[in-house]
Structure 1
Amino acid sequence: MKKIKYYIPAMIMLCVIFGFSAQNGNDSGHLSDSIYYFLQAHVPLPFAKDTMTFVIRKCAHMTEFGLLGLSFLYGFSHSFSQHLYKVSLALVFVCGCLDEFHQRFSAGRSPSLRDALIDTTGALIFLSITYFITHRQKRENRVLEKV
């Protein structure tokens, strides 16, 4: 029971993700538009508005699910020691599919396997970076121990 506290970040991320999914299509679109206009006011954007809002939405998905993957990894690292990255990535895929199913019940939204795969790609990127940083540090520590 004490280990449940390590899953609190994952639970928070799931609430955030499912909260965004509960938004209707108009609210979700207005949020993307707001970010687009903010960026446009500060930096030159390389693409038209429709393309940029698509990129903004997909980057947001990848970031949300990347953070979810890291939060699963954090919880699992305190519970068991094998296949942490694979289990975290698989669970993100399941959550991405559930999130898409959840969107089916939000007005103006529809489920998409492509979006679930984009979500999973975000987690894959975040987890891969974490894996390489962690293993590089371990390798450097082993080299220092030998010296």
Structure 2
Amino acid sequence: MNYNIRRMIFLIIALIWAIVIFAFSAKPGDESENQSIKVGMTVCNIFVPGFDNLQEYEQVDMAKKIDYPVRKTAHATEYAILAGCVLGAVTPGFIRWKNGLTAICTAVIYAATDEIHQLFVSGRSGRITDVLIDGCGAVAGTLIILLISRIIVMCGKKEN
């Protein structure tokens, strides 16, 4: 695929994903909490044997107990995806460390602006720890893509 077309596709996906992140952050605190509790209920339903047999209030209590890790995992995942899309937009072919650094920095800067945005949303707050978690997600996403690309290159060399 032509580099410019691929770059444009990744750039559009990155922009759409940034809008998705913005939309999640624009939800008031109680709506965001309810959404993450629903995700927690789904996670418990999948991983906790007998979860369906619990009373509804017990299910909600269990979902609330894992709310914090669910939210922080979501933060990291959002920014891993964003960094991956930015990496695709700035990489001409073989991924270099500078491209990875650009993707990580872009994601962290966006994370910081997102936390500032949350200061203006009812029931939400901006936290530096969330920027750090988002940054860790961006680093993890970038490293995973770098690792996969190296494996693909190494497999290609073995075939030749």
- Relative to the length of structure 1, the TM-score reads 0.86
Give the aligned partner of residue 41 of structure 1. Answer: 45
What's the offset of the Cα at 1:5? Answer: 4.2
Distance 1:81-1:140 versus aligned 2 partners, 3 A rule = closer
Give deviations 1:72-105, integer Å, cap 9, x for gaps: 0111124997511010001111011011001001
Correspondent of 2:89 among 66, 75, 98 = 75
Give the aligned partner of residue 58 of structure 2. Answer: none
Measured in 2, the distance between the counterparts of 1:29 and 1:62 equals 17
Correspondent of 2:142 among 94, 115, 127 = 127
Where structure 2 has 5 or more consecutive residues not aligned to the other structure, the ranges are 50-60
CA contact (8 A) 2:44 2:63 kept: no
Where structure 1 has 5 or more consecutive residues not aligned to the other structure, the ranges are none
What's the offset of the Cα at 1:140? Answer: 3.1
Distance 1:135-1:41 versus aligned 2 partners, 3 A rule = closer
Distance 1:34-1:65 versus aligned 2 partners, 3 A rule = same
Correspondent of 2:121 among 99, 106, 115 = 106
Correspondent of 1:117 among 132, 138, 141 = 132
> How many residues are matched?
144
Measured in 2, the distance between the counterparts of 1:131 and 1:89 equals 12
Aligned AA for 2:29?
G
Correspondent of 2:78 among 64, 76, 89 = 64
Give the alignment's Cα RMSD to 1 decimal.
2.4
Give the aligned partner of residue 29 of structure 1. Answer: 33
What's the offset of the Cα at 1:38? Answer: 2.4
Structure 2 matches for 1:90-105, cutoff 5 A?
A: 90-105=105-120
Give the aligned partner of residue 19 of structure 1. Answer: 23
Aligned-residue sequence identity (percent) comes to 26
- Relative to the length of structure 2, the TM-score reads 0.80
Measured in 2, the distance between the counterparts of 1:81 and 1:142 equals 16
Distance 1:4-1:40 versus aligned 2 partners, 3 A rule = closer
Corresponding residue SS for 2:121: coil
Measured in 2, the distance between the counterparts of 1:100 and 1:94 equals 10
